[in-house]
């Protein structure tokens, strides 16, 4: 009779630092896998501590606490399937990103991560030592090789494990979402399958942590690269995968293949999940934001409503003497369509009072951007007061184009604890609003239908800080600006590269100057959902003081 092996995959959402809660989740799904007749249950990379821990994992007391929880898990899960889980290992004065196999009340195997990513959002060489390549371990009569996350992006670890007798590869991951990342993962994992001739299980976590969102989409490949199973993106899932030994080796039985949505839906889902988890894991259940009647704040309001429910979103209109009647109507229309609360706090009184207080010092000086920014800072102060008083996190609403060139007021409209659209260029903001108006999914807590009026989407963007102001008074048209920023930020293109692509040299130089000059603002900006492989913060680290410019 052919040998069989049932593996349970736990695509779950841990919380960084919640060791007890994460361990309890592991116990619960272990019990469920035991009831399902599994020989082994696998949880993602560093699941016990949550991921990424950054420097927290280097604190000796934290690593020791994780070790105690791991030992308790081994004792509690002694009678049943093996439990495999990611956790830190402090050994011989060094710290490892490790994978533990718990069987029979003890730790039966330890795998230490060999390749440590040190790019993009990852800085693992700062945190961990590189472990030697580990051979396979045996559980349920099956020899399993485990390349941990980055280990599977190179050929050496998987090949060494196959040559040492591994019959299957199980790859635990903490791989955050970025547009197009799933295709990269599948491409690399297919290469490992082709090279080794072994089936491969790719297990990823889900959930938001700071700026990163882990999107799941775990999958199983049979030799030849055929997809046997694909779990849904962003959703928690528990899947029982049956393997059978054949004359050609072990093969996974075909299972469900969840559809993978397009990039527009995945970006929107990532912003919703990032907002929901950042607030929820920080202890907040409600959000407040300034709703201006413009497109950016309308999109943030929709994301917040979908993440938290409309009843937990407080929108505030803060009009000045420069606010157009259309803006008041449009803000009210968005709040009404979403079902959120909307209050109006005119800022003319505070603005007049501050102008009067500053008048003796400003005597003889013409009004300029100082007075414009004063309005934004009054709004920021009032919104923070509401956040403090009612325990709601203030969401800020600047898109990636504005964040890039500093078209925002520090301590004003940049105030806030989280920015859902920080990695979304303005041109994508327009299309994302149209996408949300025409799509509704079960994971959205907000209403279906047109929640952002076409008038909000189509009207010329303006900060309304002076009469007849338009964004294009200060910036190139957004299609031009975003094309230049895509080059400078996302592709590291030179000025000459962009001119060769058809951009005007003086415009490129102006945008470059704004980009470098705004670094100090970004350093103080709120975190936001990471959607691309070149988001501001960990993906792109530049000095705040920088006199170099590319002259093209």
Question: Hey, which residues are catalytic here?
Answer: 45, 113, 149
Three-class SS state of 168: strand
Three-class SS state of 106: strand
Three-class SS state of 369: helix
Kindly state the tokens that stand for 365: 């000086």
Pairing mode, strands 341-344 and 313-317: parallel
**Residue written as tokens 């361990």?**
23
Is residue 530 within 8 Å of residue 175, measured between CB atoms? no
| DSSP category for residue 81 | S
Is residue 158 within 8 Å of residue 164, measured between CB atoms? no
Give the distance, in angstroms, between the CA of residue 482 and the centroid of all CA atoms in the same chain.
21
According to DSSP, the residues that pair with 212 across neighbouring strands are 209
Is residue 67 within 8 Å of residue 73, measured between CB atoms? no
Calculate the alpha carbon distances from 265 to 181, 458, 527 in Å: 14, 21, 21
Residues in Cβ contact with 61 at an 8 Å cutoff, skipping those fewer than 6 apart: none
Secondary structure of 36-73 in the HEC alphabet? Answer: CCCCEEECCCCCCCCCCCHHHHHCHHHHHHHHHHHHHH
Q: What is the rounded distance in angstroms from the CA atom of residue 421 to the CA atom of residue 433?
A: 12
Is residue 299 within 8 Å of residue 324, measured between CB atoms? no
Helix (H) or strand (E) holding 478: helix 478-485
């Amino acid at each position: 009779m052919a040998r069989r092996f049932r593996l349970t995959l736990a695509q779950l959402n841990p919380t960084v630092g919640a060791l007890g809660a994460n361990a309890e989740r592991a116990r619960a799904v272990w019990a469920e896998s035991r009831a399902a007749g599994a020989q082994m249950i696998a949880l993602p990379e560093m699941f016990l501590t949550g991921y990424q821990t950054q420097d927290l994992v280097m604190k000796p007391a934290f690593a020791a606490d994780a070790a105690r929880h791991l030992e308790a898990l081994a004792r509690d899960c002694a009678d049943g399937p093996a439990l495999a889980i990611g956790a830190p290992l402090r050994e011989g004065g060094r710290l490892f990103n490790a994978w533990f196999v718990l069987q029979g009340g003890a730790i039966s195997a330890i795998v230490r991560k060999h390749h440590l990513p040190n790019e993009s959002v990852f800085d693992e060489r700062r945190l961990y030592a590189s472990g030697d390549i580990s051979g396979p371990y045996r559980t349920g009569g099956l020899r399993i090789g485990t390349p941990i996350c980055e280990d599977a992006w190179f050929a050496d670890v998987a090949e060494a494990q196959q040559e040492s007798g591994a019959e299957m590869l199980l790859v635990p991951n903490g791989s955050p979402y970025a547009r197009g990342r799933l295709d990269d993962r599948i491409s690399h994992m297919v290469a490992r399958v082709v090279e080794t001739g072994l089936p491969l299980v790719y297990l990823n976590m889900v959930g938001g942590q700071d700026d990163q969102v882990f999107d799941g989409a775990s999958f199983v490949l049979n030799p030849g690269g055929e997809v046997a199973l694909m779990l849904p993106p962003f959703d928690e899932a528990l899947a029982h995968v049956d393997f059978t030994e054949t004359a050609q080796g072990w093969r996974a039985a075909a299972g469900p293949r969840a559809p993978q949505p397009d990039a527009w839906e995945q970006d929107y889902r990532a912003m919703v999940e990032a907002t929901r988890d950042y607030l929820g894991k920080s202890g907040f259940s409600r959000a407040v934001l300034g709703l201006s009647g413009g497109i950016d704040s309308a999109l943030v309001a929709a994301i917040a409503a979908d993440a938290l429910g409309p009843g937990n979103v407080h929108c505030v209109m803060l009009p000045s003497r420069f606010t157009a009647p259309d803006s008041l109507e449009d803000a009210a229309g968005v709040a009404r369509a979403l079902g959120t609360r909307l209050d109006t706090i005119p800022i003319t009184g505070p603005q007049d009072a501050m102008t009067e207080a500053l008048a003796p010092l400003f005597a003889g000086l013409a009004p300029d951007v100082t007075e414009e920014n004063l309005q934004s800072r009054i709004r920021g102060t009032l919104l923070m007061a509401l956040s403090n008083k009612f325990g709601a996190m203030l969401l800020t609403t600047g898109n990636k184009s504005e964040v890039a060139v500093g078209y925002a007021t520090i301590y004003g409209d940049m105030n806030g604890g989280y920015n859902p659209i920080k990695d979304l260029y303005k041109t994508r903001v327009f299309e994302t609003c149209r996408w949300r108006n025409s799509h509704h999914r079960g994971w959205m807590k907000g209403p279906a239908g047109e929640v952002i009026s076409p008038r909000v989407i189509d009207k010329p963007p303006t900060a309304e800080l002076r009469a007849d102001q338009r964004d294009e008074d200060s910036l190139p048209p957004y299609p031009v600006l975003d094309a230049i920023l895509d080059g400078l930020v996302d592709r590291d293109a030179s000025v000459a590269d962009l001119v060769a692509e058809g951009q005007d040299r003086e415009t490129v130089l102006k945008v470059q100057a704004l980009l470098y000059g705004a670094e100090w603002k970004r350093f103080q900006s709120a975190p936001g959902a990471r959607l691309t492989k070149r988001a501001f913060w960990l993906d792109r680290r530049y000095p705040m003081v920088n006199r170099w410019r590319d002259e093209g």
